[in-house]
Amino acid sequence: MKLNELKPSSGSHHRRKRIGRGPGSGHGKTATRGHKGQKSRTGVAFSRSFEGGQTPSIRKIPKRGFKPIKRKKREYEIVNLEQLNRFDDGETVDKTKMRKAELVKKKNLVKVLARGDLKKKLTIKADKFSKKAIEVISKIGGKTETTS
């Protein structure tokens, strides 16, 4: 057996239907489109809601009210100053270190609040700080850096 001898098995391959090639072809005159009407013309395109000329059901249903687009609220995970005492003095604390210490669970934004006392001089990198937290950190001699 050679590649040039390969043929499809009998009955598996249909001949292409040649439409509109005269009465001898068996598919002449109306070219399998029936008689007249919109569907027999070229370029016919019905919309999904077309229901044969009657008023589509989507137009019968009353439309009321208005729903504005909701903007996604920025969610911050809160870290208090008392929780940051577990880090070493003079260390730089960022989101990844907070995540390793399990202060932050998700990969959300982080906000530092001034609850509790901070006893160590730290450089803290977070997305947001409360005013009081910035004051407390700077009084001790630490630094605050906002990311993003």
Instruction: Note the pLDDT tens digit of each residue in 19-77.
Output: 999 999 899 999 989 999 888 888 888 888 888 889 999 889 998 888 888 888 888 99
Three-state DSSP at 98 gives helix
Name the region of 113 (left: φ>0; alpha: ψ -120 to 50; beta: rest).
beta
Walk me through the domains of the chain, giving residue ranges and CATH numbers. 76-146 (3.100.10.10)
Strands of 3-137, DSSP E: 76-80, 92-93, 109-113, 123-126, 128-129
- Render pLDDT for 90-136 as a digit per residue (tens, 0 to 9): 889 999 999 999 989 887 899 999 999 888 899 999 999 999 999 99
**Chain CA centroid to CA 128, Å:** 26
pLDDT of residue 45: 87
Three-state DSSP at 118 gives coil
AA identity, residue 95:
K
pLDDT of residue 114: 92
DSSP state of 90: T
Q: How confident is the model at residue 1 (pLDDT cuts 50, 70, 90)?
A: confident
- Tokens (6 digits) for 27: 């598919």
pLDDT at 5 over 90: yes
